[in-house]
Amino acid sequence: MFKKILIANRGEIACRVAETARRLGVQTVAVYSDADAHAKHVRVCDEAVHIGGNAAKDSYLQWQRILEAAKATGAQAVHPGYGFLSENEEFAQACADAGLVFIGPPPSAIAAMGSKSAAKALMEKAGVPLVPGYHGDNNDPAFLAEQAQRIGFPVLIKASAGGGGRGMRKVDKPEDFVAALASCQREAKASFGDDHVLVERYVTEPRHIEIQVFGDTQGQCVYLFERDCSVQRRHQKVLEEAPAPGMSEARRAEMGAAAVAAAKAVGYVGAGTVEFIAEELADGDLRFYFMEMNTRLQVEHPVTEAITGHDLVEWQLRVAAGQPLPAQQHELKIHGHAIEARICAENPDANFLPATGTLSVLRWPAHVGFARHAGAAPAQDPAPVRVDAGVREGDAISPYYDSMIAKLIVWGENRAQALARLDAALRDTHIVGLATNVAFLRRVAASPSFATADLDTALIERERAVLFDAPGLPLPLAAAGVIAQKIASEQALESADPWSKRDGWRIHGTARRRFDLQLGGQHHVATLERLHDGALRLAIGGEQWPLVTRSLGDDRYDVVIGGERHTLTVYLVGERVAVYGAHGSQELQEIDPIAHAGEAAGGAGRLTAPMPGKVIAIHVKPGDQVTAGQALAVMEAMKMEHTISAPRAGVVTELLYAVGDQVAEGGELLRLAE
């Protein structure tokens, strides 16, 4: 086994590889860009080498610098992860030339599978079924248009060098073909530096089913069953599971054999995935076609680890070190069911637009790291929840890399149990600070199609109505969360100092308190009343509910509103409040009405107090010239200080109150002229 390896990647996969290496006693070297100087993967590795600027081309794709880093640190092998250099045969060759072991297949196997066209030609020879199409060298537009006619519309034009769901065009009718071809070739040239394309039949509502294969240097090759990755958006995977629902033993063996044949045809060594597209025939049977082979560890490998009990990164390291495969085909068994959800910084409602920002709150459900039982078949069940994350709370998601921030993997004795655990795990995943797809994933998992395993690549489109623009937590519940948090934080202050009792709030018979909440661009006023018997009543827009709140610790609150009991988790991030309930979440802003009073009244030159309070400071006098944003006065209300700032530049013409004065709601504090 190696003493030290370099991990030529970042994010969750770099952390995940490091975890297995550590367990095996192998030291790790991280590489990082400027933006990743403080990233988790740098922290979890034993050593780290800076390799360049933020853009991938200046760092994670700079293979000369990566090789130098390996030499300088004495690493014996390089793990490329996925993406970046993982399927670059020149890099694999350069590693070999530098005396380093590339933890992946031989360069010749990468090259053979690197072009989708060449791979299809090769698979045809090996007798693996293909999607009907044209994958030859002739890329003349008129010729390809003719081929499309022969195949039959709709067709799919694919960049031979494409990947990551890019470089694909579906064409529905002959008159659109030439324009779609030109556009596909432009994208292919720009993204992959190669405009060669293939044309194949567009399979309507297919399933994506892939087989995990593993080869060793002794010429053995096995398959570790299948994964269903049909749930996709923009040809990219969203949820993946193993085994594939509805797969018969006979079909599994047949597909496994086809995948092993594909791997053997290129002298495959290490982890690889043979991707198939499956079409359901009229009689309900499935027909499979080879699509492509990914010559690396896949993003979704954890579901295979969960059902087989094997650590695939350990297998990769052992095989790269020249050891035989840790298990023979007959020793591999499927145990239970696993589902993975890719958690991405993106906004599903804005066409999955990637998001950047700071992970102000990042809370995971109770979980463990990678599969904890490598080696032989599982003696015990895998952990119900696994989280592979490349980030920690407080980290930023930068615009330079992939939007995937973590993977949530669940295991169950059967699909129903895995699904229930997925729902609970997504419910308990709280990310505040930027847009994520967590709530969307939960809705996908709960959608009728996914719940009943009616899987195909059109699932998200079919379930649109229940997936997008879903309402979050209802306003009264969200407001109750804000109030529960506020009461608890004020009580915490009180108990620390017996003289700080909020008497105005407690002793008088009835006390009222107003909360100005902003939700989805709308302003709402929630009024909380304390009745004579001490009970609370919440009123919003003419409706009211009795309210009881109690802190449970860890940002959690027990809230009974209108007789209904809820457990809410509430996070305060600056002015924003994120409230999580069992059925959804909501992000609100609590507006300080006094601080914002000037904004509303600004135009009229009046600065009014929308809330009763006391003037505790005045910073200006009549005749003073003030600039926009300048602090004019300070008011105290609800034991909080609120600064009243000038909404625009102007001259103070009149002060209407003095320090110490009590101001009624709506009272005009001072006047400002242009």
CB of 336 to Mg ion, least distance (A): 26
Tell me the per-residue interface mask from 393 to 432 with ligand ADP, x by CB under 6 A, - otherwise: ---------x------------------------------
Distance (Å, whole) CA 606 – CA 599: 10
Other beta carbons less than 10 A from residue 21's beta carbon: 25
- Binding of residue 141 to ligand ADP (CB under 6 A): no
In a 10 Å sphere around its CB, with 0-12 CB exposed, 13-18 middle and 19+ buried, how is residue 556 labelled? middle
Q: What is the DSSP string of 423-466?
A: HHHHHT-EEESS--SHHHHHHHHHSHHHHTT---TTHHHHTHHH
- Binding of residue 299 to ligand ADP (CB under 6 A): yes
Which letter does DSSP use for residue 75 in this model?
Answer: -
- Binding of residue 286 to ligand ADP (CB under 6 A): no
Alpha helix segments (H runs only) across 570-613: 597-601
CB of 469 to ligand ADP, least distance (A): 24
Give the helix/strand (H/E) hosting 78.
strand 77-79
Which letter does DSSP use for residue 165 in this model?
Answer: T
- Binding-site partner at residue 402 among Mg ion, ligand ADP, none, CB < 5 to 8 Å by type: ligand ADP
Query: Using the rule CB under 6 A, which residue among 141, 152, 164, 324 binds ligand ADP?
Result: 164
Count of residues in contact with Mg ion, rule CB under 5 A: 1
Query: Using the rule CB under 6 A, which residue among 39, 291, 482, 526 binds ligand ADP?
Result: 291
CB closer to ligand ADP, 293 vs 362: 293
Q: Which of residues 594-623 bind ligand ADP (CB under 6 A)?
A: none
CB closer to Mg ion, 236 vs 417: 236
Active site residue 296: yes
Distance (Å, whole) CA 360 – CA 648: 32
Q: If DSSP states are collapsed to H, E and C, what string results for 337-404? A: EEEEEEEECEEHHHCCEECCEECCEEECCCCECCCCCCCCCCCCCCCCEEEEECCCCCCEECCCCCCE
Query: Using the rule CB under 6 A, which residue among 162, 390, 581, 584 binds ligand ADP?
Result: 162
Written as six digits, the tokens of 425 are 């795990």
Distance (Å, whole) CA 135 – CA 200: 8
Written as six digits, the tokens of 273 are 């995935």
Q: Which of 233, 296, 318, 513 is catalytic?
A: 296
- Binding-site partner at residue 208 among Mg ion, ligand ADP, none, CB < 5 to 8 Å by type: ligand ADP
CB closer to Mg ion, 275 vs 395: 275
Tell me the per-residue interface mask from 266 to 285 with Mg ion, x by CB under 5 A, - otherwise: ---------x----------
For residue 235, the one-letter residue type is H
Are the CB atoms for 155 and 200 separated by under 8 Å?
Answer: yes
Using CB under 6 A, which of the segments 292-300, 536-544, 550-558, 625-633 binds ligand ADP?
292-300
Written as six digits, the tokens of 418 are 């895995």
Are the CB atoms for 390 and 15 separated by under 8 Å?
Answer: yes
CB closer to ligand ADP, 298 vs 645: 298
Are the CB atoms for 10 and 32 separated by under 8 Å?
Answer: yes
CB of 202 to ligand ADP, least distance (A): 4
Q: Which of residues 196-255 bind ligand ADP (CB under 6 A)?
A: 200-203, 206, 208, 232, 235-237
Q: Which of residues 159-178 bind Mg ion (CB under 5 A)?
A: none
Distances (CA, A) of 197 to 200, 265, 558: 10, 23, 59
Query: Using the rule CB under 6 A, which residue among 22, 24, 68, 82 binds ligand ADP?
Result: 82
CB closer to ligand ADP, 295 vs 608: 295
- Binding of residue 294 to ligand ADP (CB under 6 A): yes
Q: Which of residues 113-132 bind ligand ADP (CB under 6 A)?
A: 131
- Binding-site partner at residue 174 among ligand ADP, Mg ion, none, CB < 5 to 8 Å by type: none
Pairing of strands 536-540, 543-553: antiparallel
Tell me the per-residue interface mask from 542 to 581 with ligand ADP, x by CB under 6 A, - otherwise: ----------------------------------------
CB of 82 to ligand ADP, least distance (A): 5
CB of 636 to ligand ADP, least distance (A): 53
- Residue 460 backbone phi and psi in degrees, to 5: -65, -40
- Binding of residue 275 to ligand ADP (CB under 6 A): yes
Are the CB atoms for 159 and 167 separated by under 8 Å?
Answer: yes
For residue 484, the one-letter residue type is A
Q: Which residues bind Mg ion (CB under 5 A)?
A: 275
Q: Which residues bind ligand ADP (CB under 6 A)?
A: 82-83, 131, 156, 162-165, 200-203, 206, 208, 232, 235-237, 275, 277, 291-292, 294, 298-300, 402, 457
Q: Which residues are catalytic?
A: 296
